[in-house]
Each structure stands twice: as C-alpha cells, then as structure tokens.
C-alpha cells in the first residue's frame, strides 16, 4: 500500500527525544527516509536504531541548531547523503531560564533566542535554498501555545515562540508560490523530558493539567500526527498557518 512519504527525505531537528522522536518514528512508518538531527548523539542514534530495526530508513547527523554553520552543514550533508530534502521539521528547542524579566540573565535571554528562534531562521535559510532547486518542499516550524499568549517566568521562551509564527508567515508569503509550504504548530503542555526537566512539583503539575480544558496534558504522538498531516500532500492548501494543538488551552 502506498504510504504518505514514500520516496521522501524528511529532516527532524531535536529528533532524539520527545515530540521530535515521535515525529521521526511516524515519518519513517509512513515511508520517509529520516534524517534525525540532535545535539545529543546518544539519543539521536538510538532513535535511528529504533527506526532501522523496525524496517525503516534513518541516519543521524549531529547539529547544534543555535549555530548557523552547523545548520548549513546539516542541510549540505543531508543533500550529499540522501540526495534531496522534501520535508523539514524545525523542532529543536529548550525550556530555558525561568525568571521574571527583571531577574532574567542576559545569557539566559541570548540562549533561548538562539536555540528556539534563530535556529529556525538558520535552518529555513538553508532548507529553502535546497528545496528551491527542485521547486517543492514542506517546512513545519515548532512554536507553542506560548506563541499566542504570555506565560509568567518565560519571557524569552514566549518571545521566541511568538517570533517563530511571524517567521513562518513571512516564509510562506515569500515561497508558497514557489512550491514550498511553511506552517507552524503550537502544542500546549506535552508529556516530554523537556517538561520533566522544568522541575514542576505535584501541585504545579495539577494546576498545569487544570489549565487544559480536556483535563490532561498532551502526548508526543498527538503532536506528531498533526506535523505529519501538515508535511503530507493531504495538506496541499495549508501554508502560512499557525496550528494550535492544545486540548482547548487557547479557547479560554
């Protein structure tokens, strides 16, 4: 039976864990050759092994997406080893420093902007150049519900995720007519290692769950389903959009 991504090459940044891992596995099940990229080589390679052991096709390429040179090398190596780039999920990100604005360090601000925002610009810059050579491509950028509303203690994260939506819209205006669709996804709180690392106590977790009208947090697979749909030809008219996937969080 024909699969969604037969003969396609799909790149996932931050593919070693959480939402990136779930999406890399789903891309592979749907027939894509998957480039798993991450700053954590152990996690990235273990996702690649999982895919290949299950009969899929994946390779690992190291890149720290906060560095423009790593992003350039990542796309170059993808084209050299896989021959093409059809789909890119710019997903890598961190939670960053948690402090109110007056107490936030300059290093903390610069780090979150580099990893969660500048990385999306760097990756798109090289991905789009590669996709233009074939006149076809799909990009999904990782934003958040915090791309649409504020959140105390997370000014850098919120600013970066808002800006990812603006970057996505601008890329769609520039390149949709040239065959490249660009969209952003906005998950609410999802059960991943990023959330576990945030050091939220039981009481904090309870109030976080209550903030979701659906009555629970999301799972990585639930986000991966949306990313796969946006990456597929089923979403052929979707470009420039911001797609919350949030159990009702933003409806309040």
Query: What is the binding site for ligand NAD (CB under 6 A)?
Result: 13-14, 16-20, 38-40, 43, 63-66, 91-94, 115-116, 142, 144, 187, 189-190, 192-195
How far apart, in whole angstroms, are the C-alpha atoms of residue 200 and residue 202? 7
From 113, 112, 116, select the one nearest 90 (Cα to Cα): 116
Shortest Å, Cβ 2 to ligand NAD: 29
Shortest Å, Cβ 22 to ligand NAD: 8
Q: What's the farthest any 2 CA atoms get from each other in the chain?
A: 57
Element (H, E) at 50: helix 41-53
From the list 122, 157, 243, 249, the catalytic residue is 157
Select 7 or 40, whichever has its Cβ closest to ligand NAD: 40
Question: Which DSSP letter does residue 82 get?
Answer: H
Select 32 or 115, whichever has its Cβ closest to ligand NAD: 115
For 190, the 3-state DSSP assignment is strand
User: Does 122 participate in catalysis according to the annotation?
Assistant: no
Q: How many CB atoms lie within 10 A of CB 205?
A: 14
Select 55 or 145, whichever has its Cβ closest to ligand NAD: 145
Shortest Å, Cβ 38 to ligand NAD: 5
Give the residue numbers annotated as catalytic, written as ranges: 157
């Amino acid at each position: 039976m024909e699969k969604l991504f037969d003969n396609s090459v799909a790149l996932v940044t931050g593919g070693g864990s959480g939402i990136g891992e779930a999406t890399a596995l789903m891309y592979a099940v749907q027939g894509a050759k998957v480039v798993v990229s991450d700053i954590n080589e152990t996690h990235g390679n273990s996702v690649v092994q999982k895919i290949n052991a299950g009969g899929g096709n994946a390779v690992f390429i190291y890149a720290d997406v906060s560095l423009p040179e790593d992003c350039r090398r990542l796309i170059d190596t993808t084209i050299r080893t896989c021959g093409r780039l059809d789909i890119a999920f710019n997903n890598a990100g961190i939670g960053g420093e948690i402090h109110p604005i007056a107490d936030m360090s300059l290093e903390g601000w610069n780090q979150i902007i580099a990893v969660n925002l500048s990385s999306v610009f760097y990756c798109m810059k090289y991905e789009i150049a590669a996709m233009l050579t074939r006149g076809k491509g799909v990009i999904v950028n990782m934003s958040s519900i915090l791309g649409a509303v504020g959140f105390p203690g997370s000014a850098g994260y919120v600013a970066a995720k808002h800006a990812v939506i603006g970057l996505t819209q601008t890329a769609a205006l520039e390149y949709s007519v040239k065959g490249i669709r660009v969209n952003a996804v906005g998950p609410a709180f999802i059960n991943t290692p990023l959330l576990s690392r945030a050091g939220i106590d039981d009481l904090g977790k309870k109030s976080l769950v209550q903030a979701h009208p659906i009555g629970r947090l999301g799972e990585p697979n639930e986000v991966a389903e949306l990313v796969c749909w946006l990456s597929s030809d089923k979403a052929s008219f979707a470009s420039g959009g911001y797609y919350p996937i949030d159990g009702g969080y933003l409806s309040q």
